[in-house]
Amino acid sequence: MQIKLSNLGKRFNYEWIFRNLSYEFTTGKAYAILGHNGSGKSTLLSILSGFQLASEGKIDYAVNGRAVTVEELYRYLSIAAPYQDLLEELTLEEMILFHTRFKALRNITPQQLPDLLNLQASRHKLVRDFSSGMRQRLKLGLAIYSDTPLLLLDEPTTNLDQDGVAWYLEHLHQNRRNRLVIIGSNVPHEYSFCEEQLPINQFHYKAQGRKKL
């Protein structure tokens, strides 16, 4: 999987969030998009996922050398993000089965996933009754264990305790081979293993004087 950004820019109303962003993401590596609160990490991840449009510039996606349109991207992508909804009325088992109707899992059956999430005791619990840490583990588990070449994680350890953080690092490590992993974060323990770092504030744009910050 390759993603090439050419002079990408995003603005909301009159405010440019970033501009002139040219960069290339390549499979097999993990990338950290870094920056302070409000710097544009989630906005960039959301644009990379095809959920939001850029205001200017271009993104080219390719899988095994074949160009992929943004409309086809969902087939190759899994994502875990704070703004992502879960299906509250389903039990854990039902939620996993629902998910696998759209995305196959990587070398495991849906029945094995609750054990891998350390949520075996909650198989029949409704998702709406999950704690915030359990919800985060479920989001991460569905993304990490989906059989997709592109994995986008926004603030992956939000709401996780120390064991949860260790769980995230272990399971991501086991499932990142031959994938492109992109993490939006400002917490070092979430991204310290990433080979590449992209500080989004390098692409901030100041209207007065029309200069990069």
Stretch that binds ligand ATP, among 35-43, 55-63, 105-113, 124-132 (CB under 6 A): 35-43
Q: CA nearest 26: which of 149, 147, 146, 201?
A: 149
Structure tokens at 27: 């499979």
Sole binder of ligand ATP in the list 2, 8, 31, 42 (CB under 6 A): 42
Among 32, 34, 41, 136, binds ligand ATP (CB under 6 A): 41
Contact criterion met (CB below 8 Å) for 9 and 18: yes
Q: Which of 124, 122, 120 is nearest to 112 (CA)?
A: 120
Choose which of 3, 21, 25, 43 interacts with ligand ATP (CB under 6 A): 43
Does residue 98 touch ligand ATP according to CB under 6 A?
Answer: no
Please name the residue that has the structure tokens 């906005």: 43
Task: Report the residue number, 11 or 123, with the smaller CB distance to ligand ATP.
Answer: 11
Q: For residue 146, give the nearest of 181, 196, 194 by alpha carbon.
A: 181
State the number of binding residues for ligand ATP (CB under 6 A).
12
Tell me the per-residue interface mask from 1 to 20 with ligand ATP, x by CB under 6 A, - otherwise.
-----------x----x---
Q: Shortest gap between Cβ of 17 and ligand ATP (angstroms)?
A: 5
Q: How far is the CB of 37 from ligand ATP (least distance, A)?
A: 3
Residues 6+ apart with CB under 8 A from 158: 82, 136
Closest distance of CB 139 from ligand ATP, Å:
15
Nearest to 45 by CA among 22, 79, 19: 79
Site for ligand ATP in 124-183 (CB under 6 A): none
Residue 209 in the binding site for ligand ATP (CB under 6 A): no
State which residue, 36 or 75, has the beta carbon closest to ligand ATP: 36
- Mark the segment that binds ligand ATP (CB under 6 A) among 30-38, 66-74, 99-107, 115-123: 30-38
Residue 39 is encoded by which pair of tokens? 């710097």
Rounded Cα distance, 29 and 2, in Å = 11
Q: How far apart are CA 186 and CA 190, in angstroms?
A: 8
Element containing residue 153 per DSSP (H, E): strand 150-154
Residues that bind ligand ATP (CB under 6 A): 12, 17, 35, 37-43, 184, 186
